[in-house]
Amino acid sequence: MNAPDRYERFVVPEGTKKVSYERDTKIVNAASFTVEREDHTIGNILRMQLHRDPNVLFAGYKLPHPLQYKIIVRIQTTSQSSPTQAYSQAIDDLDKELDCLKKGFEDEKTRFEEKLRQGY
């Protein structure tokens, strides 16, 4: 009865921004990114990629409530980098890795189909 509509899980309403940024007032080089209408699918990947960055001291994500469809990603970096830089770098790296993955899968698929055809 009180549950929100299911399309709210991915439709960003008018007026709210998809990603908003909040600097942490008490700790230097730390910030929280609130991503609307996303869930563990992108949150866990982003967290894993941020952990690979040597300049990142802290990276974590959480869903504050399962019925509020947003994630909060908290990043703290050394003074050599900034949270926005680490975030952009992580997404760039992810894009490159996904490109490589897609190409690898398509190559393997054509190779397997060739093998099947020759096997007959």
Partner 1 sequence: MSSSTKLSALDMPDVPMGHLPEHLHLQRTRVVCKADAPIHTEGIQYSGAYASTGVDISMGPNKFCKNFKIEVVRLTEDEIEFDMVGIDASLANAFRRILIAEVPTMAIEKVLMVNNTSVIADEVLAHRLGLVPLNADPRLFEYLSENDTPNERNTIVYKMEVSCKKGGSRVTVKSDQLKWLPNGSELQMTTYDSSAKAKSYTSFSCSQDSLPEFSKKPLGVRFDDIILAKLGPGQVIELEAHAVKGMGKVHAKWSPVATAWYRMLPEVVLLKEVKGDDAEKLVKKCPVGVFDIEDLGNGEKKAAVANSRACTLCRECVRGVNEELVELRRVKDHFIFTIESTGAFSPEELFIKAVKILEEKCDRVISELS
Give residues in contact with partner 1 (CB under 8 A).
Answer: 6-7, 9-10, 17-19, 21, 33, 35, 38, 40-42, 44-48, 51-52, 54, 84, 87-88, 91-102, 104-106, 108-109, 112-113, 116
User: Alpha carbon of 24 to those of 19, 34, 65, 75: distances in Å?
Assistant: 16, 13, 21, 10
d(CA 48, CA 9): 23
In terms of CB distance, is 29 or 53 closer to partner 1? 53
Give the angle subtended at the CA of 96 by the CAs of 91 and 98, to the nearest 5°.
90
